[in-house]
């Protein structure tokens, strides 16, 4: 029997009938089951969360198809893990287990996450766990970060550190259609995962957790962990989720951690990303605490990897470790898995069919082959967030002087006033590509924010930048209304327009304002366009009022002629009317900018970190 990791996990089953059927089992640490919805325990993060369980635990399977249990008997384990069978020659001690699980950190020191962050979270929990009153308003911490950065591991380790019991919700896989059909055939009802989640939260909130009578502590401390939010499709579902979480934030008695994975960061044209941000913002406004986990540094990853290597007794050189660490992009789970794969078949890479050069030429080429091989196999698609990209463009960091002497005949010489210092970043197009920036949103964002970054004296720069935006807009509109067959050309134009806008900003801003923190605002233009359309619809409706109704008036005539008069007449007739669509307000600047919680992304990164870019 394998040793199950000794975390204080609790499984809460779904219904009452299970209570009578309760059989103590030495594998698990059950406690008495209060009435709350069931959820999954997670043994293997990489495993797809199977809704079906193995036959021997059938009593759960009937009612909660998403239960996934800890401690399988050998055969089940084999069956489920067969895909990861490692060759027996490798001589590892237990080949069937994934290193990610095997080498899970058990103590705070083993965590690869940045110490400061761990401290932060730990002290937060400490505070909550100490005071038993639970009068604190903010009992919820929202932890966000990319996948594999150590969020849930941290919570688990902290929980075991404090001896608290961890009550976990793992988001189950949404049921796909084939599955649903299959399930209905076998009589299992479809339950919306969102419903389950909402019910679970409600129950937790209302009833708390009934402490186990069999446990030793008088009052065991409990930490609630919500690992990843259920998928919501559509505004209604999202709002349900939001209100449920807000209730939780406001009224929970248990210290709770909500983990949110950021998938691709903020192309704000993307609905789901935007909704997630909105959700996080509203949770924060309701009083939750927010911690951002950054991608794990290469050094930490390397340290962890070398530790694992020692334990597993495999020999990996330092450069190779370095490469693996670099290729993982801050995701330690990825790095460990890559390491495992690498150790399984170190010659896999060199025999690989990828474009590795022949390695028989010498040691150097070995490394090169390794490099290309590894980066191909283990490399991670570096996605840069849109905001990072925008920040790079706007801050416009340059070398302080021209690094190389210009060899005559080599470089492209420009006039004095056109020359600029070399950029401190990759080619802007590459940065754009990594950020998956689309031309329109990028241009709008840059337009909204660039004026903050230009020094106040440099009016000419402001004009240059504006003129490039004007050019970019022309390029983007060239194919207005054309047919889809011009798609090829359209893509070229889009990329050209994005390039023009970005390079225009970089070139035009030759006298940047002294660097200080600026929030990057969402383009106000989008709001303006929405209001304009709305007003236009209004006006179109009014159009037929003119000419005694026997004819119609042009929209522009109505807007410039009739509307002011009508407004004036109304104004007179009814005292003061705040017909907000038609009133000109002399807003002072600064008030009207639409600051969203997107700013907070920036706020987490101090000026020092900005330098890194």
Partner 1 sequence: MLWVDKYRPKTLDQVIVHQETAENLKKLVTEQDCPHLLFYGPSGSGKKTLIMALLRQIFGTSAEKVKVENRTWKIDAGSRTIDLELTTLSSTNHVELSPSDAGFQDRYIVQEIIKEMAKNRPIDTKGKKGYKVLVLNEVDKLSREAQHSLRRTMEKYSASCRLILCCNSSSKVTEAIRSRCLNVRINAPKEEQIVKVLEFIGKKEGLQLPPGFAARVADKSNRSLRRAILSFETCRVQQYPFSSNQAIPPMDWEEYVSEICSDIMREQSPKRLFQVRGKLYELLINCIPPEIILKKLLSELLKKLDEELKHEVCHWAAYYEHRMRMGQKAIFHLEAFVAKFMSIYKAFLIATFG
Interface residues with partner 1 (CB under 8 A) are: 447, 451-452, 454-463, 465-467, 469-470, 472-474, 476-477, 480-481, 524-525, 528, 531-532, 535-536, 539, 544, 546-557, 559-565, 567-569, 572, 581-582, 584-585, 587, 589, 592
Nearest to 95 by CA among 380, 410, 343: 343
Query: Could you give the CA distance from residue 50 to residue 220 in angstroms, rounded to a whole number?
Result: 31
Query: Could you give the CA distance from residue 25 to residue 33 in angstroms, rounded to a whole number?
Result: 14
Nearer to partner 1, 182 or 567 (CB): 567
Nearer to partner 1, 147 or 462 (CB): 462
Shortest separation between residue 510's beta carbon and partner 1, angstroms:
13
Task: Count how many Cα atoms sit within 13 Å of the Cα of residue 523 in the half-sphere of its side chain.
Answer: 19
Shortest separation between residue 90's beta carbon and partner 1, angstroms:
59
Please list, in sequence order, all residues whose beta carbon lies within 8 angstroms of the beta carbon of residue 253, skipping any fewer than 6 positions away: 134, 139, 208
Shortest separation between residue 585's beta carbon and partner 1, angstroms:
7
Nearer to partner 1, 176 or 459 (CB): 459
Nearer to partner 1, 98 or 539 (CB): 539
Nearest to 101 by CA among 153, 151, 149, 143: 153
Shortest separation between residue 96's beta carbon and partner 1, angstroms:
56
Shortest separation between residue 528's beta carbon and partner 1, angstroms:
5
**Strand-by-strand arrangement of the 289-293 sheet:** 165-170, 222-227, 256-261, 140-145, 289-293
Nearer to partner 1, 210 or 532 (CB): 532
Query: Could you give the CA distance from residue 520 to residue 546 in angstroms, rounded to a whole number?
Result: 45
Shortest separation between residue 85's beta carbon and partner 1, angstroms:
52
State phi, psi for 268 to the nearest 5 degrees.
-70, 0
Nearer to partner 1, 229 or 520 (CB): 520
Query: Could you give the CA distance from residue 511 to residue 525 in angstroms, rounded to a whole number?
Result: 25
Shortest separation between residue 597's beta carbon and partner 1, angstroms:
22
Alpha carbon of 443 to those of 241, 422, 513, 594: distances in Å?
A: 33, 22, 20, 17
Nearer to partner 1, 212 or 542 (CB): 542
Task: Report whether 369 contacts 350 (CB < 8 A).
Answer: yes
Nearer to partner 1, 361 or 463 (CB): 463
Query: Could you give the CA distance from residue 331 to residue 150 in angstroms, rounded to a whole number?
Result: 8
Query: Could you give the CA distance from residue 532 to residue 581 in angstroms, rounded to a whole number?
Result: 9
Nearer to partner 1, 20 or 573 (CB): 573
Shortest separation between residue 469's beta carbon and partner 1, angstroms:
5
Nearest to 453 by CA among 399, 507, 511: 511
Task: Report whether 249 contacts 284 (CB < 8 A).
Answer: no
CB atoms within 10 A of CB 542: 17
Shortest separation between residue 555's beta carbon and partner 1, angstroms:
7
Query: Could you give the CA distance from residue 463 to residue 461 in angstroms, rounded to a whole number?
Result: 5
Shortest separation between residue 550's beta carbon and partner 1, angstroms:
5
Nearer to partner 1, 77 or 544 (CB): 544
Alpha carbon of 47 to those of 98, 155, 357, 504, 613: distances in Å?
A: 10, 20, 35, 47, 35
Query: Could you give the CA distance from residue 505 to residue 465 in angstroms, rounded to a whole number?
Result: 6
Shortest separation between residue 170's beta carbon and partner 1, angstroms:
45
Nearer to partner 1, 404 or 550 (CB): 550
Nearer to partner 1, 402 or 525 (CB): 525
Shortest separation between residue 606's beta carbon and partner 1, angstroms:
26
Shortest separation between residue 459's beta carbon and partner 1, angstroms:
5
Nearest to 166 by CA among 220, 244, 215: 220
Nearer to partner 1, 265 or 444 (CB): 444
Task: Report whether 563 contacts 539 (CB < 8 A).
Answer: yes
Alpha carbon of 552 to those of 37, 368, 539: distances in Å?
A: 62, 74, 11
Query: Does residue 99 sit in helix, strand or coil?
Result: helix
Q: Is the alpha carbon torsion for 276, 280, 283, 285 positive or negative?
A: negative
Quote the crossing angle between the two packed helices 332-344 and 318-328, to the nearest 10°: 140
Using the 8-state DSSP alphabet, how is residue 454 labeled?
B
Shortest separation between residue 440's beta carbon and partner 1, angstroms:
9
State phi, psi for 165 to the nearest 5 degrees.
-95, 145
Task: Count how many Cα atoms sit within 13 Å of the Cα of residue 195 in the half-sphere of its side chain.
Answer: 6
Nearer to partner 1, 129 or 454 (CB): 454
């Amino acid at each position: 029997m394998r040793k199950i990791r000794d975390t204080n996990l609790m499984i809460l089953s779904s219904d009452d009938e299970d209570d009578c059927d309760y059989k103590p089992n030495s594998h698990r640490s059950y406690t008495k089951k209060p009435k709350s919805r069931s959820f999954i325990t997670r043994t293997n993060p990489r495993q797809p969360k199977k809704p079906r369980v193995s036959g021997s635990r059938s009593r759960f399977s009937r009612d909660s198809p998403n239960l996934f249990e800890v401690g399988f008997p050998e055969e089940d384990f084999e069956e489920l893990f067969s895909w990861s069978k490692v060759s027996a020659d490798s001589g590892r001690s237990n080949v069937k287990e994934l290193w990610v699980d095997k080498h899970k950190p058990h103590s705070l020191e083993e965590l690869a996450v940045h110490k400061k962050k761990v401290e932060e979270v730990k002290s937060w929990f400490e505070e909550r766990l100490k005071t038993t009153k639970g009068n604190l308003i903010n009992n919820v911490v929202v932890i966000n970060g990319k996948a594999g950065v150590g969020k849930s591991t941290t919570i688990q380790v902290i929980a075991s550190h404090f001896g608290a019991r961890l009550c976990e919700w793992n988001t189950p896989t949404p049921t796909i259609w084939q599955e649903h059909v299959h399930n209905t055939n076998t009589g299992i009802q479809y339950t919306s995962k969102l419903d389950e989640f909402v019910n679970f939260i409600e129950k937790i909130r209302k009833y708390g957790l009934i402490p186990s009578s069999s446990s030793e502590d008088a009052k065991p401390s409990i930490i609630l962990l919500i690992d990843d939010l259920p998928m919501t499709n559509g505004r209604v579902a999202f709002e349900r989720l939001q209100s449920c979480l807000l209730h939780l934030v406001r009224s929970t008695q248990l210290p709770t951690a909500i983990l949110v994975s950021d998938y691709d960061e903020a192309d704000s044209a993307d609905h789901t990303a935007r909704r997630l941000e909105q959700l996080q913002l509203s949770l924060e406004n309701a009083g939750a605490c927010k911690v951002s986990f950054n991608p794990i540094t290469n050094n930490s990853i390397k340290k962890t990897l070398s530790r694992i290597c020692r334990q597993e007794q495999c020999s990996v050189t330092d450069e190779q470790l370095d490469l693996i660490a670099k290729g993982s992009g801050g995701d330690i789970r990825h790095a460990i898995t890559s390491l495992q794969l690498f150790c399984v078949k170190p010659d896999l890479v060199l025999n690989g069919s990828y474009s590795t050069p022949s390695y028989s030429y010498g040691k150097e080429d070995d490394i090169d082959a390794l490099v290309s091989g590894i980066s191909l196999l283990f490399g991670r698609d570096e996605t840069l967030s849109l905001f990072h990209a925008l920040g790079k463009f706007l801050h416009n960091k340059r070398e302080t002087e021209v690094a190389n002497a210009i060899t005559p005949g080599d470089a492209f010489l420009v006039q004095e006033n056109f020359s600029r210092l070399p950029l401190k970043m990759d080619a802007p197009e590459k940065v754009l590509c990594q950020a998956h920036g689309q031309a329109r949103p990028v241009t709008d964002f840059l337009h909204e924010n660039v004026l903050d970054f230009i020094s106040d004296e440099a009016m000419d720069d402001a004009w240059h930048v504006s003129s490039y935006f004007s050019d970019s807009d022309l390029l983007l509109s060239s194919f207005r209304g054309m047919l889809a067959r011009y798609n090829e050309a359209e893509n070229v134009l889009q990329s050209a327009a994005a390039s023009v806008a970005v390079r225009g900003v970089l070139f035009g801003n030759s006298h940047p304002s002294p660097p200080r923190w600026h929030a990057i605002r969402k383009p106000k233009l989008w709001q303006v366009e929405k209001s304009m359309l709305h007003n236009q619809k209004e006006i179109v409706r009014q159009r037929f009022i003119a000419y005694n109704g026997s004819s119609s008036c042009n929209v522009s005539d109505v807007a410039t002629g009739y509307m002011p008069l009508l407004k004036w007449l109304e104004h007179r007739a009814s005292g003061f009317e705040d017909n907000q669509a038609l009133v000109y307000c002399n807003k002072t600047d600064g008030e009207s900018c639409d600051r969203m919680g997107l700013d907070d992304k920036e706020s987490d990164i101090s000026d020092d970190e900005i330098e890194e870019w």
